[in-house]
Amino acid sequence: MFSRQFVRLASSAAKKPQTLRIYGVDGTYATALFDVAVAESRVSQVAASLTAVNSMLRTDAKLAHIFQNPALSLQDRKTVAQTVVQNGPIKIEPAVANFLNVLAENNRLSLLEKIAADFAKLDDHYNGVVNASITTVQPLDNKSFKRIERALAASALVGSERTLKLTNNIDPQIQGGLVVEIADRTVDLSIAARIQKLNKILEETV
């Protein structure tokens, strides 16, 4: 369970309603931290600190392994969390320092990467950012990327009051065409999807 102080701070976050729901244990922790950040008006600072800690895990294999080790004692987990806070590339926000201690107490340090990803989703939603991706076999040229970006930005899924954040992912397995993912929608225009549909039709006619 969360520390009493952490839960009390999270429950008092009423400055800006949060409508995005993220499920799972990692989602619960991310939401609790985000609510604290909103209550303290430190969303961007908390996001930066969480990103910094997560970057440490990605660049330090030994540290990442320690975070993934559920057999560590409580004292060792707390020591690791404290060491990360003291040696971060930037000054770690008190809310994030407290949060790492909570994760250590509950033996949930292994969830940090997922929590950071969920927090980023909450942060984007809070700031009116809509994430979208285009998956292609090869990188799109700038002209094609911009054309798709303009079309998606003008769609009802984004609207004039929100900002589109579009990325181009590469996946040779789709064989051609493209796959567009925006919000909770997926439009699969890949050759692989067309082949799959054709195979299904052929199977049904046998």
Amino acid found at 136: T
Q: 106-162 pLDDT, tens per residue?
A: 999 999 999 999 999 999 989 999 989 999 999 999 999 999 999 999 888 888 888
pLDDT of residue 54: 93
- Structure token pair of residue 166: 């579009």
Identify which of 77, 66, 60, 2 has the alpha carbon closest to the alpha carbon of residue 32: 2
The proportion of the chain whose per-residue pLDDT surpasses 90, expressed as a percent, equals 67
Mean pLDDT of 50-76: 93
| Closest to 106 measured CA to CA, from 25, 27, 52, 21 | 25
DSSP code, position 57: H
3-state class of 172 per DSSP?
A: helix
Tokens coding 59:
């660049």
* Residue 100's pLDDT band (cuts 50, 70, 90): very high
- The whole-number pLDDT of residue 206 equals 55
Quote the pTM value: 0.72
Instruction: Check whether 12 has a pLDDT greater than 80.
Output: no
Compare 17 and 63 and report the one with higher pLDDT. Answer: 63
List the one residue out of 139, 138, 163, 170 whose CA is nearest residue 149.
Answer: 163
User: How far apart are alpha carbons 116 and 2 in whole angstroms?
Assistant: 17
